[in-house]
Structure 1
Amino acid sequence: MSEFTPAQLGLRIASLVQDHGKALVQFFDRHASNKSDVPDLVQDVYLKLTKADVPINFDHPGRYLLSVARSVLIDHHRRHKARYTHSHGELTDDVPDTGLSIERVLDGKAMAERMQAALLDLPERTRDVFALRTLRGLKMADVATAMQISLSTAEKHHSRALAYLAEQLVDFR
């Protein structure tokens, strides 16, 4: 590997690119998906060469430069792929029908608001029994244990909650 000073390395890279710069531009012009990226890709080759250990003697300096250019091009494609720049589909006016009408959505929202208000109207213990049993899915015996009440009391509170909610939501049947 090389033991160049920064100045020698700069001259070596400049000489390499000057001798093979036209081939480098042609390579990127053929293989880059966006032709406006060619100058940036050439610049990336310069940068990559300044960070690499450039061999003192080249058997084929043009091949070495093109291998660096391939590496730069692969990195460029990976960056674009990671940003999803070419993976977006066309926007169309065709919106799939979800089967939900505006009226149905608004009715659902109104029902949810009415149910919330009805739950807040319930006595605290009745609301807690309902929440543990219906919303959390606990067994009635576990609800009774958690609330430190008898099983029959828990069942009565749950029945009251169901009856009150059914009465409050009767318009939504």
Structure 2
Amino acid sequence: MAVYDRFWDGIYQQYRERLLRQVQKYLPARDESHDVLQDLYVQLRHRNVNPSDISNPPAYMMRMATNLAIDAVRRHKRNPLEFTDPAEISEMGGTVHQSVTPEQISSDRQRLDIIRDAISDLPPRCREVFLLCKRDHLSTQEAADRLGISRNMVEKHLRQALGHCKQVLARHEN
């Protein structure tokens, strides 16, 4: 074991709980946060970074942990099933096939048509914001940057769009 490895092992063990709390801010699921810490440990060992080159090794590890957690969140947004327990997926599949009736499918399709119509009735900018955030999964800041408007304006459009969709759906369900 290299001298650097012993140093990083000691720092990692000393700050492990703080690192875990930091990662859990982004990934509350216990298994995912522990996976991120394991990745952090592996990266520390493989990078072979001289601790004397780092002005604040605990802060360096904290930044690495945060970056790894953010990367995991991004992966999760791109592929949510990747982070789902296979047992849960099989349970969902069994439940869905047993409890869904043709009437339920028809009702769901009607609701989707109602929502689709409600979205098409929105003012153009409001509809664009709604689709960017809900369909394309952009954050409010990302949508604001893309459209050249403020984040507050994006949030206002989202509230308007969601309120409109709820009202239209409520009218049809009553």
With structure 2 as the length reference, what TM-score do the two structures score?
0.43
Q: Which has the larger radius of gyration?
A: 1
